[in-house]
Every structure is written in structure tokens, then in C-alpha cells.
Amino acid sequence: MMDIRSDMLSRLRNRKPGYTLDRPFYNDPDYFQVDLENIWYKDWLFVGHDCEVPNPGNYMTVDVGAYSVIIVRGRDGKINALHNSCRHRGSRVCAEHRGSAANLVCPYHQWTYDLDGSLMFARQMGDNFDPSQFGLKQVACESAGGYIFISLADEPMNFEPFRKTMEPYFLPHRLREAKVAYESTIIEKGNWKLVWENNRECYHCAGNHPELCKTYPENPSISGVSGAADDPETAEHWAKCEAIGLPSKFQIDEDGQFRAARMPLLRDAISYTISGRKAVHMRLSDQVNQDRIGTLLLFHYPTTWNHVLSDHAITFRVMPISATETAVTTKWLVHKDAVEGIDYRLEELTHVWTETNDQDRQIVEENARGILSPAYEPGPYSEVHEGGVAQFVEWYTRFMESRLSGEGKPSLRSVA
């Protein structure tokens, strides 16, 4: 692995700024392993929403590379993240993707764990057995604005700067109390970085997303990182939203890992429908008293990008599966009291982004295939349209460089 790490480091150091990466970053299994160890096993990852585990005992599981993690609401209401590996002989304790249980009981020999991971009961293990030494291992877990994040690192990075930025934007939308109306997971046959590169520009939108383009502006300042502060229409939108208590101005953190901004939709559309009219006849949050608030955008590398509208929210989760496969999970959140068939039609609610996701999947897969050709060489990003992509690749480059060279944060101990 050492050779791969130095090979990767030298490619990152010699890369041409403003250009795509060398081929191995997009398809090499060893490079993928280095990504897992340095980003996915170290950083904060969005896994799901508080409202998906509303009551004690509600749980979901998530796989991150080789890890399986249980996210479970404890008796005290706190959300816990636990390694899904029994402390007896290692069986997965929860085999289901989602469920509800009074305790977590391993299916193999019925070791029984409390919802905080402590071992309550293990049959006939002898007098010298000390159950307090065999609780499920803890995973760092934080909840912010209705989003659950975990970190697999032994010493997680400081979560607070993200919380401090994100919560003022998100708390008014009360996603903690929402409900997931629909969820889809698609597998894109492309590296996770290709999924992100595609997400961070709308250069491809006009040619590929007829449904989304009815409401979502292609304006590169929206997908990019300029913030559109000098665009009068955006400035007016921010002023209007901030006047009703909705923080909206563009903010990006100093490392470029996350960004929040509230952007207007085309022709003052309310929602991502073909007509631009609302898809849900009940606002997502009781705290928001207007419909035309555009879309609150948030990205946090490497796992999530988001759109929060007045009538619903759409959240995206990226999970790497292999060097050439990535799972993208999309959730549509609505007010918890909104009733399907009465307050919204599921087909209308999900239509635009279901189509858009599938179009993006095709684009990413063609991109991945083309990169396999020996004729591939890194190509230039458009300065006008692809500033967001360049920003993502720069974030990745700086982040990996600092970690691979031993200067980075957090600790660089390899898990291999």
C-alpha cells in the first residue's frame, strides 16, 4: 500500500490545476482503498435523518466500505451509532436495513445488547465473564438540523464548525420532525468522484435534464463557488428570505468541504415540478410562512448534497461501493402530517429528481467508460461553468495531499 500512497501523492502534486484527474483516481482498486482509509474512514459522513428513527429502538444500518454501522435511537432519545459486529464471534447483529427492537439481539447466540450498545445478557459464559467488557463498539455520531453524521475515526475531526454553519440555515425547516415520503437508491457504475464532479456543475443540464431545467437555473454561480454576491437577483432573494428569518447568504468553509446558500428558482418557481407549482399542499415547516423561498443548497464532501424547498426537501447520500460503483440514495422529506394522495401525489413529488438521477447515472457511467480508454488524458474544466468541479477536485487534492504527506488532519494512522 505504501507504493500506492506515494504514487498517488506524486500524481496529486504533479497534476495540472483545472484539469480532471489521472485515470487511476477513477478506476484503480488500490487508489479506492486509499480513498476509503483517508477520507471515508476518517471524515464525518451523512448517513440518514433523525426522523427516520423517531422512537427508541428504531434503527437503520449503513455500510461504509468494509464497515457496517447500526444507527439506533436510545431509550434516552439520543441517537447512537454502533459497530454492527457482535463482540462474541463477530456476527452482524442487525441484518435488516431498517427495523425496530426493544434490544439488539445477535441472531447467532442471542447475546443481547442495550440500545446504547452495552451488553445486557450473554447466556452461560461462565463466572469469570465480565459483560461490561463486551459492549458493541461505539462510532462517533452527531445530529445537526435533522441530519445524522457519523465518523469512523478513532479521533474524529471537530464537527462543530459544520454544525455552527449549517444549523442556522436548516433549523427553521424542522427536518427533525419531517417524514420521508419516498426513498430511492441507485447504483451508478462510476467512481464516487465522478458522481461528485457531475453534481458540481450544470454545464451538462441543458443537454441532459429537460425536467429539472424547467425550474433549476443553470447559472454557474449556483452550482459553483462564487456565491453570486454581485448578482442583483440573488442578492434580492437573500434579502427577502433573511427578512422572514431564513439565513440565505452563501457560505463556504475555509477548507472548501461544505457550503450552504439559498438560491432562487427560475421564474420564481416554488418546487421541483414541471409546472413549478408546489408538489405538497402543506409546507414542510410550520416556521416558514412563504412559498417562494427558492432552494436551500448544502453540500458536505464526501457524502451529501441537498435541496430544501418550502414544500419538501430532497436529500442525497453518496456511498462508495468499489472503485467503479457508487450508491446514491435520494430521500424526499415532507411535513410529518402530509398525507399521500391528499396533500401530495408521490408520482408528482418524485418525478423530476427521479428522471434527473437517472439521467445523471447515464452521464456518469458514460464518463467512467470513456476514461477506461487508453486514449484518455486529463482534460480542462470550463472556467465559466465548471468552477464547482474544479473546487471539488482541489478540495480532494489538498485533503489527500495533506493526509498522504503526514501533514494533515486528523491523525494519519493507516487502518490497513
Interface positions with ligand FES (CB under 6 A): 86, 88-89, 91, 106, 108-109, 111
| Residue 212: CB minimum distance to ligand FES, A | 47
Residue 91 contact, options Fe ion, ligand FES, none, Cβ 5-8 Å cut-off depending on partner type = ligand FES
| Residue 41: CB minimum distance to ligand FES, A | 24
- Residue least distant from Fe ion (Cβ): 360
| Residue 308: CB minimum distance to Fe ion, A | 18
All residues at 6 or more sequence positions from 292 whose CB lies less than 8 Å from its CB, including other chains: 268, 270, 310
**Per CB under 5 A, 360 contacts Fe ion:** yes
| Residue 208: CB minimum distance to ligand FES, A | 48
* Type of residue numbered 300: H
All residues at 6 or more sequence positions from 297 whose CB lies less than 8 Å from its CB, including other chains: 222, 259, 260, 261, 262, 263, 305, 306, 307
| Residue 86: CB minimum distance to ligand FES, A | 3
Q: Are 120 and 103 in contact (CB under 8 A)?
A: yes
Cα 228 from chain centroid (whole Å): 24
Number of residues in the chain: 416
Stretch that binds Fe ion, among 141-149, 236-244, 358-366, 407-415 (CB under 5 A): 358-366
| Residue 416: CB minimum distance to Fe ion, A | 34
- Cis (ω within 30 of 0) for the bond into 410? yes
Question: Which residue's CB is nearer to ligand FES, number 106 or number 141?
Answer: 106
Distance CA 406, CA 5 (A): 11
- Which H or E run contains 315? strand 313-322
Read off the DSSP letter of residue 280.
B
Question: Which residue's CB is nearer to ligand FES, number 85 or number 257?
Answer: 85
**Per CB under 5 A, 114 contacts Fe ion:** no
Strands, E, within 50-92: which ranges?
A: 58-64, 67-73, 79-83
Q: How many CB atoms lie within 10 A of CB 341?
A: 7
| Residue 140: CB minimum distance to Fe ion, A | 32
Residue 398 contact, options Fe ion, ligand FES, none, Cβ 5-8 Å cut-off depending on partner type = none
- Cis (ω within 30 of 0) for the bond into 378? no
Residue 360 contact, options ligand FES, Fe ion, none, Cβ 5-8 Å cut-off depending on partner type = Fe ion
Task: Classify residue 351 as left (phi > 0), alpha (psi -120 to 50) or beta.
Answer: alpha
| Residue 109: CB minimum distance to ligand FES, A | 3
- Which H or E run contains 317? strand 313-322
| Residue 107: CB minimum distance to ligand FES, A | 7
Q: Are 262 and 297 in contact (CB under 8 A)?
A: yes
Residue 121 contact, options Fe ion, ligand FES, none, Cβ 5-8 Å cut-off depending on partner type = none
CA–CA distances in Å: residue 136 to residues 52, 81, 99, 108, 209: 22, 10, 18, 15, 45
User: Which residues make up the interface to Fe ion (CB under 5 A)?
Assistant: 360
